[in-house]
Structure formats: C-alpha cells, structure tokens
Chains A and B, each alone.
Chain A
Amino acid sequence: MRWINTKPGPAVRLMLMLAPFVLLVIAYGMGSAARLADNPSDKLLPALASLTDAINRMAFTPDTRTGEYLMWADTTASLSRLLWALGISTAIALLFGMIVGMFPYVRALLAPFIATISMVPPLALLPILFIVLGLGEAAKISLIVIGVAPAMIRDLALKVVELPREQIIKAETLGGSSWQIALRVVLPQVLPRLFTCLRLQLGPAWLFLIAAEAISADSGLGYRIFLVRRYLSMDVIFPYVAWITLLAIIMNFALDRLRIAIFPWSNLERQ
C-alpha cells in the first residue's frame, strides 16, 4: 500500500499527537540533568523541581512586598490589554472591512492607503506611541491595534469581495437596498471569517503585547519575563512562556468553538 494511503487509527493518532510533547520534556530533562551534573548551580536549564518551586512562588504565594499573587496579577494586566486591543481592532476591522469590500468608491479611496499602512512595521512606531501617548496603557493598546487591525481589515474586505457576485445580484432582485444587503447578506457571512481572522491575529497580538510590556510596564507577563531575565531566572521564564502559550491555545480553541456554535452553517460548507 502506498504511504499516502495509510492512515493512523484513533489510538495511534493520540500517541502520535503526544509524542513530540513527551519528547520535548524528555530532551529537556536529559539536558537539564547533564548540565546540573557538571555544575549544580547552573541556571540555564533548571531541574523540574526548581520549575515547580518557581511556579509555586509566583502563582500560589503572595508577594512579600505587595501581597499580590504575581502571576495572576501579571495575567490579568496582560489579558485586559490584549482583550481591549482585540476588541477595538475587531470593531475597526468589521466597519472598514465591510465598507471597503462593498462600496467601489470607498475601496478606491481607502484600499491602497490601508495596504500601505499595513506595511509599516508597528514596532518601529512604538517610540512614537510612547512619546505621543505616554508610557501608560494607551500606548500599549494602540501598538497592538496598529499591528493587528490593518491585516484584519484587508482580510475581511477580501472576504466581502470574494462573495459570489450572483449572491449580491440575487439580493438586489429581492429588493434589497445597499444597507439591507450589508446587514442581511454580507455581515452574517463575514462574521465567521472575523473569528478565523482573530485567531490568526492572536500570534501577532501577543507579540506586540510582550514587546510593549518589555519596554515599559509595571506589570504583565511580558514585563515579568524581561524583569527576571536580569537574574537569569530561567525557572520563572519557562513557566511564563508555557503559560502564555497555553492562554493563546485556549483563546484559539475557544474562538473556533464559538464560531461553530454561533454560525453552524459555516462548518457545513467545508464538508
């Protein structure tokens, strides 16, 4: 039988899925043990025990100075920035994506401009944002919005343009006005794409969040990682990275489930 026709069963599939993760942990354990055998005070690859220690210290023991649980305080600070930024980006993208996609005049006016803006590297704008908006939350949220919104606008506008011409014509023969067609034909078909689009932008959004927090913040996951970097505290950095990854995975998964729950038809078409 050809290799392209052999398929794994459910049990094998689960094992294959877990294998890379298990391998990673084993490789880490071996590397860490080898380094610690050479030098017991090595900080680069701390043993699993010191990782759990650090997690315990950060997440489940109140900080001696502030009395806060640092990891939860960092998580709330980061997530509120991220959610604000994604919310604002979504609103902007939906509005501009729809009008750019639907109206040829607006497209002629804005499409090249948005395409140009989306090419500006957002991190290069970060100093300007800090100068203009100060070092507070506004600058960090703006950085994420600037980094994420143009790509979302372009993606949604593309989706609107891709709607079959026949559908729009059909809606016109049913007596729909531009507004009615936008509301009942275009918007409902763009919304599922918005969820997918948000999922794809989660990566860049986290990137910009951590970058902004690294430079100026007094709390946040990115702030903490860059703070403890000075003490070479890999035992804190590794759990934080894993935690950020887990948060991103959960958001990614939740957005997809939410899309299927709200728009059941959007999953029927692929079958």
Chain B
Amino acid sequence: MSTIVLDNVWKEYGDQIVLEKVSLTIASRAFVALVGPSGCGKTTFLKLLLGEEAPTRGTITLDGVPLVAEPGPDRGVVFQRYSVFPHLTVLGNVLLGKAFTGSKIAARLFGASKRSAIEEARQLIADVGLAGSEDKYPAQLSGGMQQRLALAQALIMKPKVLLLDEPFGALDPGIRAEIHVLMKRLWHETELTVVMVTHDMREAFTLGTRVIAFERPRDRPEERERYGALLSRDIDIWPPRIAGEPSIFAPDRDDPVMPLGLVQDDLAPTQGDTP
C-alpha cells in the first residue's frame, strides 16, 4: 500500500506563491499524470513529493506517515536528463542501489551477495529491454535506452512511489511509444504508485489512471506574487484502468489479457481426451 495524502499544501519561494491550497489523495497503485502550462508548479509539486523541497504550509503523508524532507529509497525518481551515472556501466548503474543498502562503508558488494544482486540486476535489465548492453556506459546508449536504464535503476529499490519528471519528453515519438508500452507493463507488474509530470496530453491520457491539471487562474504580473497555481482539473480516466487488471473495454496490446474462455475460433477439444 502506498497512499499519498496532501492536505492544504502551499509552496512559496520568498514572496512568490507557487502552489496554493493543494489537497489531494492519490490512491495506492494509481498512475497520476500531472499536466499544465510551463511554470505552473508541476515540477515544484513533484519536488515536494520527492522531499527535495518542504511545503511552506500543509502536510504530505505517505501511508499516514509524514514525508521526511529528504529524498529516500521509498520514492524512486526518473528525470528527463542526468538520471543515470555516466561513470558506471549499465550493470553498475542498476547495482548501485543494492550496493548502497548492502554495504554501509564500502558501498560495494562482494561474494554471494554480489552474485545474487547481479542476478537480480540482470533480470531487471532484461525486463526493461536492455539485455546485452550490461557493459556499456550511458554515453554509448541512445536517449530512450538511457531512460529505460533509469527506470531499471529506480525499480531495483522496489520503491512504493515512482516519480517521473517529464521522463520521455526528450525522446522521438517512435521511441516514446515503445517506452510507453514498457512503462505500462512495469506499472501493471510492480507494486507502484506513479506520479508523472508531462507536457504531452496524449501521454497523460495513454498512461494515466487519473489526469490532474495545475493552472494559474490569476496570472497578471502584479497578481503573480499574491496568487499561486491551483489544482484546476482532476479527471479520472474512463474506462478506468486498474493496475494489474485487464481493461474490459479497451485492452491495450500490452495490458494483461482477460481470459475469455473458449470461443468459436479455438480448436475444438479432441474427442479422445474427454471422458
């Protein structure tokens, strides 16, 4: 379970109010897409969830526990750029989280724990479609592959919440569609609540279970100091998408398949087998 509750959250930078009275409950295993014009506080909102910034007023709780104002292993993140470490290979990047938790002083794994971690990392690397690239450095990967790597790197920590800051914004449409398929599969298969900031409406509606828009209703220069952005739209996708369950209305190619029982086109059971 990983329910995020925001209660009357404000964020101000000096005189500037960025976010105003945001109250929101994000259900466990939801996929929330955050949209809105530039400078409306989407990224600030994500930073609040990440713990990189603390709210000026109000509280944020994860499963009823107030968030620590510091990023931690319960919340994974993928940024648009710089999410992976250029000095580590693909395998090294994915192993880093394991090394951090497994070895306090050396931050490196040895022996049996190393072997099992490598096993797990290789599995995850294959899951995101990077099998065969384990020994490459990020600079040798394309943008789409780097983002796949960033996902694998975050997921090895088994975070409750995955935060995505325009993760696919810099990718070509074709590559983006492929990585959407992956993202959807990962969300179905992993115990994850996802919050994604995006510019792309289409992306928001293809991936999300719920689309939330931030907007500044008062945006004249003299008003910017006194009023921040509000949560202006909150749309539940219909037909509803539920993590790990096939959609009965419009299953995607990559969604779990609903067992429909035998239909006419299936081969008839052979006579000899039935009693």
Residues of chain A within 8 A of B82, CB atoms compared: 164, 166-167, 170
Supply 23 A–B pairs (Cβ within 8 Å), ascending by A: A166-B79, A166-B81, A166-B82, A166-B83, A167-B82, A169-B50, A169-B77, A171-B100, A173-B73, A173-B75, A173-B76, A173-B154, A173-B159, A174-B73, A174-B154, A174-B157, A175-B100, A183-B107, A184-B96, A184-B108, A265-B87, A266-B87, A271-B139
B150: chain A residues at CB < 8 Å are 170
Q: Report Cα–Cα, A173/B67, bound state, in Å.
A: 13
Verify if B52 is at the interface (C-beta below 8 Å from A). yes
Which A residues touch B70, using CB under 8 A?
A: 172
A227 proximal to B (CB < 8 A):
no
Q: Which residues of B contact A (CB under 8 A)?
A: 50, 52, 70-73, 75-77, 79, 81-88, 96-97, 99-101, 104-108, 137, 139-140, 150, 153-154, 157, 159
Measured CB to CB, the closest approach of chain A to B72, in angstroms, equals 7
A-B contacts at CB below 8 angstroms, number:
90
- Contacts A180-B107, A189-B87 known; 11 new A-B pairs at CB < 8 A: A169-B50, A169-B52, A170-B85, A173-B157, A174-B157, A175-B72, A175-B73, A175-B157, A184-B100, A265-B139, A268-B137
Q: Are A170 and B77 in contact (CB under 8 A)?
A: yes
Q: Which residues of B contact A265 (CB under 8 A)?
A: 86-87, 137, 139
Residues from chain B with a CB closer than 8 A to the CB of A5 are: none
Measured in the bound complex, the distance between the Cα atoms of B140 and A171 in whole Å is 21
Minimum CB–CB distance from B20 to chain A (whole Å) comes to: 25
Looking at the assembled complex, report how far the CB atom of B31 sits from the nearest CB atom of chain A, in whole angstroms: 19
Q: Do A264 and B100 touch (CB < 8 A)? A: no
Question: Who on chain B is nearest to A188 by CB?
Answer: B87
Q: How far is the CA of A175 from the CA of B81 in the complex (A)?
A: 20
Shortest CB distance B205–A (Å): 27
Interface extent on A, as a size class?
A: 20 to 34
CB distance from B209 to the nearest CB of A (A): 23
Q: How far is the CA of A17 from the CA of B72 in the complex (A)?
A: 54
- Chain B residues contacting A197 (CB-CB under 8 Å) are none
Which residues of chain A come closer than 8 Å to B75, judged between CB atoms? 173
A176 at interface, CB cutoff 8 A: yes
Is B139 a contact partner of A173 (Cβ separation < 8 A)?
no
- On chain A, the residues within 8 Å of B140 by CB distance are 268
In the complex, whether A177 has a CB less than 8 A from a CB of chain B is: yes
Which among B71, B84, B105 is the interface contact of A173 at CB below 8 angstroms?
B71
Residue A185 CB within 8 A of the other chain: yes
Q: Would you call B157 and A164 a contact (CB within 8 A)?
A: no
Give the nearest-CB partner of A266 in chain B.
B87
User: How far, in Å, is B251 (CB) from chain A's closest CB?
Assistant: 32
Q: Which residues of B contact A185 (CB under 8 A)?
A: 85, 96
Q: Is the beta-carbon distance between B139 and A170 smaller than 8 angstroms?
A: no
Interface residues of A in 173-213 (CB under 8 A from B): 173-177, 179-180, 183-185, 188-189
Chain B residues, CB < 8 A from A169:
50, 52, 71, 77, 79
Cα A180 to Cα B137 with chains together (Å): 21
Q: Which 7 A-B pairs have the closest CB atoms?
A: A174-B97, A268-B139, A164-B82, A175-B73, A172-B71, A166-B82, A180-B107
In the complex, A271→B153 CA distance in Å? 24
Question: In whole angstroms, what is the CA distance A52 to B105 when docked?
Answer: 58
Contact A175 B139 (CB under 8 A): no
In the complex, which residue of chain B has the Cβ closest to the Cβ of A264?
B137
Q: A184-B96, A263-B87, A268-B140 are in contact. Are A172 and B72 (CB under 8 A)?
A: yes
Complex CA distance for A64 and B22, rounded to whole angstroms? 90
A176: chain B residues at CB < 8 Å are 96, 100, 107
Partner of B96, one of A164, A171, A263, A266: A171
Answer whether residue A38 sits at the interface, using C-beta atoms and an 8 A cutoff: no
Q: Separation in Å of the A17 CB from the closest CB of chain B? A: 29
Residues of A within 8 A of B72 (CB): 172-173, 175
Known contacts A172-B70, A183-B107: does B76 contact A269 (CB below 8 Å)?
Answer: no
Chain A nearest CB, measured from B119 CB (Å) = 18
CA distance A176 to B83 in the complex (A): 15
Nearest residue (CB) in A for B150 is: A170
Interfacial chain B residues near A179, Cβ < 8 Å = 105, 107
Q: Least Cβ distance of B137 to chain A in Å? A: 4
B contact residues around A172 at 8 Å (CB): 70-72
Chain B residues near A268 (CB-CB < 8 A): 86, 137, 139-140
